[in-house]
Structure 1
Amino acid sequence: MIYVDADACPVKAEVEAVATRHGTAVAMVSNGGLRPSGNPLVEMVYVTEGPDEADKWIAERCGAGDVVITSDIPLASKAVSAGACVLKPNGEVLTERNVGQALATRDLMSDLRAADPFRQGGGKPFGKADRARFRDALERVVRQAKGS
Structure 2
Amino acid sequence: MPVILIDADGCPVIDITIKVAKQFELETILICDTSHRMEREGIETITVSKGADAVDFVLVNRVKKGDIVVTQDYGLAAMVLAKQGFPINQNGLVYTEENIGQLLEYRHISKKIRRAGGHTKGPKKRQKENDIMFEERLIHLCEKVVSQPSE
* TM-score, length basis structure 2: 0.91
Is 1:51 matched with 2:52? yes
2:30 aligns to what? 28
How far off is 1:114 after superposition? 1.6
C-alpha distance in 2, partners of 1:59/1:16? Answer: 20
C-alpha distance in 2, partners of 1:98/1:26? Answer: 26
> Which of residues 14, 18, 21 is equivalent to 1:19?
21
2:8 aligns to what? 6
2:132 aligns to what? 132
C-alpha distance in 2, partners of 1:47/1:26? Answer: 17
1:37 aligns to what? 40
Q: Deviations over 1:42-89 (max 9, x none)?
A: 211101111111100111111211001000111000000100001010
- Secondary structure of 1:134's counterpart equals helix
CA 62–144 in structure 1, closer or farther in 2 if over 3 Å, else same:
same
Contact 2:68 2:88 in 1 (8 A): yes
Q: How many residues align?
A: 145
Paired letter, 2:55: A
1:64 aligns to what? 65
> Runs ≥4 in structure 1, deviation > 4 angstroms?
none
Is 1:122 matched with 2:125? no
How far off is 1:120 after superposition? 6.7
Q: Give the share of equivalent positions with the same residue, in percent.
A: 27
Which sections of structure 1, spanning at least 5 residues, go unmatched? Answer: none
* TM-score, length basis structure 1: 0.93
